Amino acid sequence: MSGAWVRLTDAGLGCPDWPGCYGQLTPPQSAAEIERANAAFPDAPVETGKAWREMLHRYAIPFLGLIVLALAAIAIANRDDPFVPLLVPLLLIPLLGLQAALGMLTVTMLLQPIIVVAHLIGGMATLALLGYLAMRTWPREPQILSPATRFRTLAVAALAVVMVQIALGGWTSANYAALACPDFPTCQSQWWPDASFADGFVPWRGLGSTGPADSQARTAIHLAHRIGAIVTLLVVGGIGLLAALRGSHRGMRLAGAAMTVVVAIQAALGATIVLQRLPLALAVAHNGTAAVLLLATVALIVAAWRQA
């Protein structure tokens, strides 16, 4: 959520250096500090609000790192306990290190979209693993493998669809294509406007914070995200509804119901964001709801391996 807030308020370069902010641990505050910062970074004048938003987002990484290290230490200390997974806490350590590196590259490479999206996916993967860890260790009851093999496959498929759609959403945001289609359900008053998918999905491009120069590239990016939304609504909503109605135990049914409701809310938010011209609160909520949908999908995966 904090990353979305930073990105959507154009604060990703609120501090032009890393890991500090204008050479300090905190953003410049006094007139003298601001004057020195502006002299040191003449191409990036101080905007205090943006600088604080960026630094608050950066400060979250060390705190999360301490939590992950504590979880890993607990897992190692209790490695003989069948209720305490060992691999996931250990995987979180390099993943968080990668996230820190991607955060640095996001700044030093001037919001290169492929780096921004990788940073987003890394954050969502961290959330998914933490969610899995919490669900896997609670409640502490004997784990009897469920015979619902079909739901295991479907749950993993739903997770894959959600992650692809999150990546498309990140690509849309990083390329400033959220309003490339300013109307809904049509796009530029057409069902299929001129769009250049080849230009819209160039992995490496010196975009800075301006996005693709070609409006047809932005249109293609937006259309891809809309198509992904339809696929996600049908696939994830369908799997969730099936689990809610046919799940073999209460955990599966609850996870399926949550998936169905949240994916519908997410689709409605996406349409409303376009119609309301990208209001900040709804855009941040759209990112947060994507995270909730991811956790609901992880919950179905956990439930599909558990017979209660």
Catalytic residue IDs = 54
Helices (H), ranges, 78-214? 87-108, 113-136, 149-174, 197-200
CA distance 161 to 170: 14
CA 215 to chain centre: 25
What is the rounded radius of gyration, in angstroms, for the C-alpha atoms of the chain?
21
Nearest to 13 by CA among 117, 101, 109, 114: 109
Nearest to 125 by CA among 303, 305, 297, 307: 297
SS3 assignment, position 190? strand
Nearest to 229 by CA among 196, 281, 201, 187: 187
CA distance 293 to 255: 10
Nearest to 173 by CA among 278, 67, 281: 278
